[in-house]
Homo-oligomer: A and B are copies of this chain.
Amino acid sequence: MESDRELLPCRDDILAVRRRIASHIHITPVMSSETLNRMFHAQLYFKCENFQKAGAFKIRGATNAIVSLGAAGRLRGVATHSSGNHAQALALAARRQGIKAYIVMPENAPAVKVNAVKDYGGIIRFCPPTLQARESTLRAVIAETGASEIHPYNDYRIIAGQSTASAELLEHCGDLELLLAPVGGGGLLSGAILAARYFSPLTKVYGAEPAMADDAWRSFRSGSLVPSVNPQTVADGLRTSLGTLTFPVIMEGAEDILTVSEAGIIKAMVLIWERMKIVAEPSAAVPLAAVMEHPDVFYGKRTGIILSGGNADIRNLPL
């Protein structure tokens, strides 16, 4: 893992990443809803990464990490531990480029997630459902195969990849006053901060986070990295804690972290489904929940929202 601040992606890096990954991802649409705008007294522009390949923004970072590998690295493949959207994205991005992806998943992962990774050609290694087992299994896989670890967020190649979603949104909308992204490990939010800094410096960037997994809020307030311990939020994509690379970017560049209630997340998700007629997973509804629960911040503002993914299990919704 690179930790040298000099390797923080610069403006030209992000422009280069956009070109490099262009043929591997969708340029997703930006949608608005008159009803939601009226309801919340704001102009909301949703960057629909639920329509992205593999159903979430994660394919952007995964693709960038893979295209950044050298010839020897490509031959040995990539590896990660994840049971979420990063696992699916890495498997799909690797398959598209003809390289192997080893995915370490807990043996109790839902069948729907295991099958999605298999469908995308990922090579699954099961392990006991503890963080320790996941990390030791991943180390064993890497020792055995020589694969490159692709961390889901604590990696500048990933952060630069995720920043392209915000760069596209800022370019599409012109002069956004606010930009709002959900925050779990912080890859997407760090990317949003860099994109705004380089391409729309007057845009203020906020993170939106479940109060039940408020490590980013606590870290931002205290100025030091405070991890979450076993958070139970319904927003399953946001249970991870900030990393050593994402925390400083967020500390320096975020306007604030806004926390939201579990009821607010569900309500916002249902609003997106019923009013916009699109499928958002709970984590992707966290920014709209922040608009609902922090109305003063957004009143009358042109606000970009990264609608991060649509991988909800329709038959098992948390309603």
Contact = CB atoms under 8 A, between A and B. Distances in A.
Contacts of A277: 50-51, 55, 278-279, 310
Nearest to A270: B314
Nearest to A315: B319
Contacts of A310: 277
Contacts of A279: 273-274, 277-279
Contact of A319 (B55, B273, B314): B314
Nearest to A309: B277
Interface residues of A, number: 15
Chain copies in the assembly? 2
Contacts of A270: 314-315
A55 B317 CA distance: 22
Interface in A33-86: 50-51, 55
A47 B273 CA distance: 18
A199 to B, nearest CB: 26
A1 B177 CA distance: 53
A314 B274 contact: yes
Nearest to A51: B277
Interface string A113-131: 0000000000000000000
A315 B317 CA distance: 9
Contacts of A319: 314-315
Contacts of A51: 277
Which of A29, A50, A273 neighbours the largest number of chain B CB atoms within 10 Å of its CB?
A273
Interface in A266-297: 270, 273-274, 277-279
Given A55-B277, A317-B317, 10 more contacts: A29-B29, A50-B277, A51-B277, A270-B314, A277-B279, A277-B310, A278-B278, A278-B279, A314-B317, A314-B319
Interface of A: 29, 50-51, 55, 270, 273-274, 277-279, 310, 314-315, 317, 319
20 contacts: A29-B29, A50-B277, A51-B277, A55-B277, A270-B314, A270-B315, A273-B279, A273-B314, A274-B279, A274-B314, A277-B278, A277-B279, A277-B310, A278-B278, A278-B279, A279-B279, A314-B317, A314-B319, A315-B319, A317-B317
